[in-house]
């Protein structure tokens, strides 16, 4: 098949951008002719994948948003692809991949957590208002044929906020690179990484990975360190945030001397090797690739119930699902419980075995079959 993949930017730094790149490689390797349509190419496309630049207005994020959303379908239409999979915002598409859920749903959860000031700012922001207007258009009947959701959480969100019928949404969970993330990382990196960040070798250590700290739940996590049960534990934070100074202050307040802010890095696997547990108590998280990465490394995870990847957890691993992560005591109980389980070699094997069901190879087999099914049914052509 001739498959078009669209997004505002090709990069490897953002989660969606990296998934776009992986998808281009995965579908190429399955024998398809893959074309990338992007407003910006920060990196070269994978070998064997065609590149098409979408002209966008270069200044102002609202202008960039709308210019790509309107220009991309016109250019993609000329390529005569069998099916087009859109990873971002366009006014029409064959298949819309929703990797983050609806923006409306995100704003609702963010307002609940942030209070009146947050709600006021969101209601006045030209960017948020524009994004909501585009989203309403994007989910209007006739502007998409199918929707690919990365979790059942996303499926419920789209049904609740935009009335998308169940039979129009396909859930295919994200995958994990099982060769990059594996239990052997512990032996390779635990001692050296802990010494680098002055973390005692025998201290229980939690890993947080992600940028956009507030949405990912770092505030919640740091507050858990205010409780006596967490005083002996350390926290490694991989990622960054525009309000880094605020989080330094929170760390000093709740966990002085126990938090290592690593920043962004390209060798994140070494921190999985140094940790005993992965925590993601997000306010909103459509999936959460770090959950699979932690499991693949043989680590237990602690996640909000609203994290999409929580739905794949089974058996004893479900003890790490927190219903009210905004409650420091409830979060701390889950953290201590799963830190204890991290000492169990059998528990580590169970975590790894579960992750092996969700490799990227398995993901692309499912995606390939589904896209072929759509094309055979003739249920595409919204760009025609």
pLDDT of residue 156: 94
Which residues lie closer than 8 Å to 167 by C-beta, 6 or more apart? Answer: none
Asked which of 134-143, 233-242, 276-285 is least confident by mean pLDDT, the reply is: 134-143
pLDDT at 245 over 80: yes
The pLDDT tens digits for 127-152 are 888 889 888 999 999 899 999 999 99
Which residues lie closer than 8 Å to 351 by C-beta, 6 or more apart? Answer: 294, 295, 296, 298, 299, 300, 301, 317
The pLDDT tens digits for 334-370 are 999 999 999 999 999 999 999 999 999 999 999 999 9
In a domain, 384, yes or no: no
pLDDT of residue 253: 95
Of 2, 49, 95, which is closest to residue 380 (Cα–Cα)? 95
pLDDT of residue 331: 97
The pLDDT tens digits for 31-43 are 999 999 999 999 9
pLDDT of residue 107: 80
pLDDT mean across residues, the chain: 92
Query: Do 159 and 240 reside in the same domain of the chain?
Result: no
pLDDT of residue 120: 64
The total of structural domains in the chain comes to 2
* Contact yes or no for 278/238 (Cβ under 8 A): no
Cα separation, 9 vs 102, in Å, equals 19
pLDDT of residue 235: 98
pLDDT at 291 over 80: yes
pLDDT (mean) for 75-97: 93
pLDDT at 383 over 70: no
In a domain, 316, yes or no: yes
pLDDT of residue 105: 84
Residue at token pair 């100074």: 245
Cα separation, 218 vs 209, in Å, equals 10
The pLDDT tens digits for 172-209 are 999 999 999 999 999 999 999 999 999 999 999 999 99
pLDDT (mean) for 7-13: 90
Which residues lie closer than 8 Å to 306 by C-beta, 6 or more apart? Answer: 109, 153, 282, 283, 284, 285
Q: For residue 209, what are the β-bridge partners? A: 238
Query: Do 169 and 292 reside in the same domain of the chain?
Result: no
pLDDT of residue 59: 84
pLDDT of residue 130: 85
SS3 217: coil
11-18, Cβ contacts within 8 angstroms, sequence gap of 24 or more: 11/40, 11/42, 11/43, 12/43, 13/42, 13/264, 15/99, 15/289, 16/87, 16/88, 16/99, 16/100
pLDDT of residue 237: 98
Query: Do 257 and 366 reside in the same domain of the chain?
Result: no
Q: How many helices (H) and strands (E) does the chain have?
A: 15, 13
In a domain, 382, yes or no: no
Query: Do 168 and 268 reside in the same domain of the chain?
Result: no
- CATH code at position 88: 3.40.50.2000
* Contact yes or no for 368/27 (Cβ under 8 A): yes
In a domain, 95, yes or no: yes
Query: Do 284 and 158 reside in the same domain of the chain?
Result: no
pLDDT at 382 over 60: no
Query: Do 162 and 120 reside in the same domain of the chain?
Result: yes
In a domain, 254, yes or no: yes
pLDDT (mean) for 2-14: 92
pLDDT of residue 104: 86
In a domain, 97, yes or no: yes
pLDDT of residue 109: 76
In a domain, 139, yes or no: yes
Residue at token pair 């919204």: 382
Tokens of 211: 């940028």
pLDDT at 242 over 70: yes
pLDDT at 117 over 70: no
Query: Do 108 and 199 reside in the same domain of the chain?
Result: no
pLDDT (mean) for 235-247: 94
What interhelical angle do 103-114 and 126-138 show, nearest 10? 140
Q: For residue 235, what are the β-bridge partners? A: 206, 259
Of 235, 254, 238, which is closest to residue 246 (Cα–Cα)? 254
pLDDT (mean) for 303-316: 96
Tokens of 120: 């006021």
Query: Do 314 and 365 reside in the same domain of the chain?
Result: no
Query: Do 42 and 131 reside in the same domain of the chain?
Result: yes
- Other residues' Cβ atoms within 10 Å of the Cβ of residue 265: 13
Query: Do 152 and 194 reside in the same domain of the chain?
Result: no
* Contact yes or no for 295/301 (Cβ under 8 A): yes
Query: Do 246 and 163 reside in the same domain of the chain?
Result: no
Query: Do 157 and 244 reside in the same domain of the chain?
Result: no
More confident residue, 154 or 381: 154
Cα separation, 160 vs 157, in Å, equals 5
Range of the domain at 116: 2-175+360-376
In a domain, 381, yes or no: no
Specify the pTM. Answer: 0.90
């Amino acid at each position: 098949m001739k498959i078009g993949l669209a997004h505002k930017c090709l990069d490897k730094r953002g989660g969606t951008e990296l998934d776009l790149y992986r998808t281009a490689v995965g579908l190429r390797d399955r024998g398809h002719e893959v074309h990338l349509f992007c407003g910006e190419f920060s990196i070269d496309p994978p070998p064997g994948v065609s590149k098409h630049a979408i002209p966008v207005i270069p200044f102002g994020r609202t202008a960039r948003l709308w210019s790509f959303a309107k220009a991309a379908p016109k250019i993609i239409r000329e390529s005569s692809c069998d099916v087009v999979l859109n990873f971002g915002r366009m006014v029409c598409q064959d298949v819309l991949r929703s990797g983050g859920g609806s923006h409306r749903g995100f704003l609702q959860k963010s307002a609940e957590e942030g209070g009146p000031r947050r709600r006021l700012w969101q209601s006045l922001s030209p960017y948020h208002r524009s994004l909501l207007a585009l989203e309403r258009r994007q989910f209007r009947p006739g502007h998409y044929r199918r929707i690919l959701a990365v979790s059942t959480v996303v499926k419920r969100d789209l049904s609740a906020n935009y009335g998308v019928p169940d039979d129009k949404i396909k859930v295919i969970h994200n995958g994990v690179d099982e060769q990059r993330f594996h239990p052997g990382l512990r032996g390779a990196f635990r001692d050296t990484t802990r010494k680098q960040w002055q973390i005692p070798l025998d201290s229980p250590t939690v890993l947080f990975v992600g940028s956009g700290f507030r949405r990912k739940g770092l505030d919640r996590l740091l507050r858990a360190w205010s409780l006596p049960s967490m005083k002996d534990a350390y926290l490694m934070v991989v990622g960054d945030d525009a309000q880094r100074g605020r989080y330094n202050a929170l760390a000093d307040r709740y966990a002085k001397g126990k938090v290592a802010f690593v920043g962004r890095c390209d060798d994140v696997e070494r921190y999985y090797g140094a940790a005993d547990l992965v925590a993601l108590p997000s306010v909103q998280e459509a999936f959460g690739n770090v959950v699979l990465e932690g499991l693949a490394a043989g680590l237990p995870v602690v996640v909000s119930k609203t994290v999409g990847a929580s739905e794949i957890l089974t058996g004893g691993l479900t003890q790490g699902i927190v219903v009210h992560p905004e409650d420091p005591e409830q979060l701390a109980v889950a953290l201590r419980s799963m830190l204890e389980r991290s000492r169990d070699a059998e528990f580590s094997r169970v975590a790894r075995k579960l992750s092996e069901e969700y490799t990227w190879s398995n993901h692309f087999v499912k995606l390939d079959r589904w896209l072929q099914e759509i094309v055979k049914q003739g249920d595409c052509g919204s760009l025609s």
